[in-house]
Copies of this chain bind each other. A is one copy, B any other.
Amino acid sequence: MASNEFDLIARYFEHQNVNRRDVALAIGDDCALLNVPAGSHLAVSTDSLVAGTHFLADADPALVAHKALASNLSDLAAMGATPAWVSLALTMPTPDEVWLRRFCDGFFALADYFNVQLIGGDTTKGPLSITLTVHGFVPEGQALTRSGANSGDWIYVTGQLGDSAAGLAVLLGEVTVADEALKATLLERHYKAQPRILAGQALCGIASSALDISDGLISDLGHILKRSQLAATVDVDKLPLSAELLAFEPELEKAQQLALASGEEYELCFTVPEQNRGTLDTALAHTGVKATCIGQLRTGTGIKLMRRDELLEWQLHGYDHFAE
């Protein structure tokens, strides 16, 4: 059993497969020293995952690690940035080696996949939580922001929506799913989202705005509307739903509501001007990611949910940590 902080850090975090040439000094000094390519912005995002709030304390540490890093990388994807480095602040009640080993398995599997190097962090004693700060690059003037959308632009989402919420309901025991294969798939979708890095990069120069869906489409689309000072019309029949979601929730209306409110999807929501729609499919083709048009931006405020020509009066909201 490792008995002190420094041993733990040395043993679990100093050895890794990724050794980037833009890292001049990595773990082990007061700071990491890094090189940002000329002509690129540095893109930085921070996310915390807290046991009891974002994951169950007895969850598989490999899945927790994946979720923490995936959600953070997803913010880089939403800017069209290329991931480079990550800092990890890990707080745990005791230096549990079994937990740490599994955590590292999940963490480095995803970090290696995206060629992301762990450059430092902090290991402290306290209630279990993980805070990651990811760093990436995006060519100057190319970043996808939330504020660039215009009236008339079309609203798209990548992948399929709602599976994460269904997986969470299964995880929390709110719903019983008899079909074991379906249950496993939904849990996997909840925990193991793939950040849309390649899709984000492909959207640079095509999309007018973008963000990742972490608090639910209805809530996150609201951020684009607020920043771009626009309104949106969304056709709920266009929402991309998986076969698994419809097996979990056969009632279409309820499945669509799940898709609108489901948090932690880590799909991208983005807007495309009419003149760029033709190049969108070509640009995304090599990424293996499908995008679906679900609505359109217009002047005004708020989100109108429609089923064809009928205005829906659904009361929905995204995830809010401090909501009563």
Contact = CB atoms under 8 A, between A and B. Distances in A.
A320 interface: yes
A288 interface: no
Contact of A29 (B53, B145, B323): B145
Interface residues of A, number: 73
Contacts of A314: none
B50 A321 contact: no
A135 interface: yes
Interface in A1-20: 2-6, 8
Contacts of A94: 322
Nearest to A49: B124
Q: How many copies does the complex hold?
A: 2
A34 B29 contact: no
B91 A31 contact: no
A211 B30 contact: yes
A255 B142 CA distance: 58
A46 B87 contact: yes
17 contacts: A4-B321, A8-B322, A24-B41, A25-B145, A30-B75, A30-B211, A31-B44, A31-B45, A38-B38, A46-B88, A46-B131, A48-B122, A50-B125, A54-B124, A125-B322, A129-B129, A133-B133
Interface of A: 2-6, 8, 24-25, 28-36, 38, 41-54, 75-76, 78-79, 81, 85, 87-89, 91, 94-95, 119-127, 129, 131, 133, 135-136, 138, 140, 143, 145-147, 210-212, 227, 320-324
Minimum-distance CB pairs A-B, first 7:
A50-B126, A30-B78, A127-B127, A31-B43, A131-B131, A33-B41, A30-B75
